[in-house]
Amino acid sequence: MFDFDWLIQPYSKQDFFENIWQKNAIQLASKRPHHFERFFSAHDLERTLEYGQPKPPSIRLASTTANEKVTPPYNSTGRLDIDKLRKYYLSGQTVIVNNVEDFDANVAMLVQALQKEISCRAQVNAYLTPPSAQGFNPHYDTHDVIVMQIEGEKLWRVHDKDSVCPLNELTNGDPRLREATTEPTQIKLTAGDVLYMPRGWIHEAETTETASLHLTIGIHPPLGKDLLAAALECACRLHPQFREPLPVGFLGSPEAKPLLQQQFAELLHLFTQTASVEQATGVIEDELVRRGRSGGDGHLFSDMNKLHAITTDSKVERRQDVPCRLVDTDKGIGLQFLGSVIEGPPAFEPAMRFVMQQTDAFKVGTLPDLEPDHQRALMASLITDGLCRFTETTW
Q: Would you state the pLDDT for residue 162?
A: 64
Contacts of 295 (CB under 8 A, 6+ apart): 105, 108, 109, 319, 321, 322, 386
CA-wise closest residue to 107 among 235, 214, 201: 214
168-216 confidence digits (pLDDT tens): 554 444 545 555 556 889 999 999 999 999 998 889 999 999 999 999 9
**pTM attached to this predicted model:** 0.89
pLDDT one-digit tens code per residue, 377-393: 999 999 999 999 999 86
For position 175, what pLDDT does the model report?
A: 47
In this prediction, residue 171 carries a pLDDT of: 46
251/186 Cα distance (integer angstroms):
52
Question: pLDDT by residue (tens digit) across 230-240?
Answer: 999 999 999 99
Cα 42 from Cα 104, distance rounded (Å): 12
**Ordered alpha helix ranges (H), 17-173:** 42-47, 82-90, 105-118
